[in-house]
Amino acid sequence: MDRSDSIQAAAERRVDGAARGPGKHDADKGLDTGEPGRKWFAMAPMGKVVPLPGRDGGLPDAVLRPIRDGNAFESTVEHLANAIRVGVFAPGERLPPERELAERLGVGRATLREAIGALRQAGLVTTTRGRAGGTVVVHPGEAVPEGASGPVGRVRPTPTAEEVADVLVFRRVVEPSAAALTAGAALTGEARAWLTRSLDEAVAPKDDAARRVADARLHLAVAALAGSPLLLDAVTRVQARVSKLLAAIPVLKANIEHSDLQHAAIVEAILRGDADGARRVMEEHCDATSALLRGLIG
């Protein structure tokens, strides 16, 4: 069986599994929260009830949480920049309205405006005024215009070998754990469909830039369904850093093909409730990316 046949067979199994519903790990079909597009699912490992993120795949609802430390401005910049870089908001998508976004992050509107100004200077968003205006995400990998000055034109320092190693070690701790927790959770049909859709988008992007965004969104979906906001925050941070590292190396066909197969295997393990299998394949996936980055970056 060649690669295309393998991916097609995996897709058919995913669609069949989503159509059948949650199976033995789904305690119920979700409880109505009274909010459109939001349901609850039980998290089996700890027996607790956690929300299934809603709204267009759920990532904005899952990732945009109140900032808890005293560095409101700096933390807001980091929070939004990471969300943009890992694809929580796609290029061309508008950020939520100012009032809503400030409430979600638990910061004042003046602080939010200053943070968005910093994102604008960094080339991550553009803002237009007027009735039809708003803040729109621009492609995070967009080339810096020739002659650009200020923060947009700065060259980011090359990470040291120690910094690269730290990111990769941390990733291998948090992402396999997230996959295992999600595999052991009582996922609703809605959650399973979201995971399947995220995988389909990751293995069939329109171009290399869209592939990286879809790849990160799949990893965030896996983490979001684990039911731990702290774990999701850790995966969001590590994905933002891994994205920067991957942007420094070429897109390699052999690696992409291998990654697609591993992504499919991770999702299949989660959907059949195989926590050990999901952890093992995610570890292998992290190891493959780590080997590539160590070899090409040092």
Query: Are both 259 and 144 inside the same structural domain?
Result: no
Q: Which of 93, 125, 153 is the last residue of a domain?
A: 153
298 pLDDT band, cuts 50/70/90, is low
Q: Is the pLDDT of residue 32 over 70?
A: no
Amino acid at 52: L
pLDDT tens digits, residue range 45-104? 433 334 455 434 467 777 777 887 778 888 888 888 888 888 888 788 889 999 999 998
Cβ atoms within 10 Å, residue 197: 16
**Which of 14-28, 32-46, 135-149 comes out lowest in average pLDDT?**
32-46
Q: Are strands 39-43 and 48-52 parallel, antiparallel or unpaired?
A: antiparallel
| Distances from the Cα of 111 to the Cα of 61, 77, 117, angstroms | 20, 10, 10
Query: Are both 36 and 176 inside the same structural domain?
Result: yes
13 pLDDT band, cuts 50/70/90, is low
The pLDDT of residue 255 is 87
pLDDT tens digits, residue range 33-52? 333 333 333 343 433 334 45
Q: Which of 153, 179, 200 is the last residue of a domain?
A: 153
Query: Are both 103 and 238 inside the same structural domain?
Result: no
Give the closest residue to 175 by CA, choosing from 98, 289, 62, 260.
Answer: 289
Residue with tokens 């993120």: 53
Range list of β-strands (E), the chain: 31-32, 39-43, 48-52, 125-128, 134-137
Query: Are both 35 and 172 inside the same structural domain?
Result: yes
CATH number for the domain that contains residue 130: 1.10.10.10
Decide: pTM greater than 0.85.
no
Q: Which of 112, 135, 153 is the last residue of a domain?
A: 153
Q: Structurally, how many domains does the chain consist of?
A: 2
Query: Are both 109 and 237 inside the same structural domain?
Result: no
Q: Is the pLDDT of residue 7 over 90?
A: no
Would you say residue 57 lies in a domain?
no
Domain of residue 29, residue span: 3-45+159-297
pLDDT tens digits, residue range 142-164? 333 333 333 444 445 667 888 88
Helix (H) or strand (E) holding 295: helix 275-297
pLDDT tens digits, residue range 231-240? 999 999 999 8
DSSP state at residue 155: P
